[in-house]
Amino acid sequence: MPNTPFYLDPQPIYFGGFKREYADSDFALFGVPFDCTSSYRPGSRFGPDAIREASANIETWSWRTGMDFEDLKVHDLGNVAVVYGDAAETIRRVADTVEDINSTRKVPIMLGGEHLITLGSAKAIKDCTFVSFDAHFDLRDEYLSNKLSHACVMRRIMEEEGKERVLLCGVRATFGEEVRWVKENGIRYMTSRDLLREGVGSSSSWLKEQLKDAGKIYISIDMDVVDPAYAPGVGNPEPEGIAPSLLLDILGEIIDERVVGFDLVEVAPHYDNGRTAVLASKMIFEICTMIEQARK
């Protein structure tokens, strides 16, 4: 087991309905039930356990990879014991957790919680390119006088890793000042309209070109990148998103042996009938099998 002492484990339900021994695992999954900077609809702190419950009740076969998630070696650590209202301490605990997992040569899988928690991964994994699928840029310098806000997370990650190490995909919700900052600083992005218009082939080709010199890749998925017709249970829903199949098909094209971790955040289960948590679970199954296949 990792040395980080911040787990509430065991959980009533393990992700996928089972848990491998940590020493024998290739993936280490953990939840971060934190949503203290949510600006519209709070409740993503309930996301990790809702995703676990859904994952134990859906089928695990991937037609994309021809693999069964049940055959993968995944250990569910439980949830990080967050400090409610203390974003800085929560990020520190996430960073310690990811660092410990990496030290044992396993792939961290983080369940949110709000998108701010991805900053913890950036503090732990250096010299890494972060690919964020999100309806929002999350590039404000501060939001409501707070620099540690979900609306600022990619700005903070750029300060950790550099502007050239962040790619933003699926963006459609922003405002004038943020757009100007993006253009002035040469930030690389594709809007949801770009993805829908270009389709899997052109979109993944653009991403591959941007990632050709990346040594390590981390993928962050804010569920609001998906259109609310498919994923209504999120903190900040925005119309004109992309379909889950398009997102997964693009991921299938860009995931390779360089992927060192991923997260899925912003599932707020109280705003729908459980379908967003089911979709999140399916996406995690698919991404894990993609990573496993790429490493063989």
**Residue 27: which CATH number?**
3.40.800.10
Residues 6 or more apart whose CB falls under 8 angstroms from that of 89 comprise: 83
Q: Is the dihedral of CA 5, 23, 112, 258 positive or negative?
A: positive
What is the block-wise mean pLDDT of the chain (296 residues), using blocks of 10 residues? Answer: 58 87 95 95 97 97 98 95 92 94 96 98 97 98 96 98 98 98 98 98 98 98 98 98 98 98 98 97 98 94
- Alpha helical stretches, state H, the chain: 47-55, 87-103, 118-124, 153-161, 176-184, 192-211, 244-254, 275-295
Predicted pLDDT of residue 53: 96
234, β-bridge pairs: 267
Residue 117: which domain range? 7-295
- Give domain status of residue 2, yes or no: no
**Residue 119, in any domain of the structure:** yes
Let me know if residue 1 belongs to a domain: no
Q: Hey, CA dihedral for 122, 124, 129, 135, is it positive or negative?
A: negative
Residue 235 lies in a domain: yes
| 139 inside domain | yes
Model pLDDT, residue 19: 85
Model confidence pTM above 0.75: yes
Q: Residues forming the annotated binding site for Mn(2+)?
A: 115, 134, 136, 138, 222, 224
Instruction: Flag whether 182 is in a domain.
Output: yes
DSSP 8-state secondary structure symbol assigned to residue 1: -
Residue 287, judged by CB atoms within 10 A of its CB (0-12, 13-18, 19+), counts as buried
Domain count, the chain: 1
Is 194 a member of any domain?
yes
Q: What confidence score (pLDDT) does residue 1 get?
A: 60
Any domain includes 142: yes
Binding-site residues sit at: 115, 134, 136, 138, 222, 224
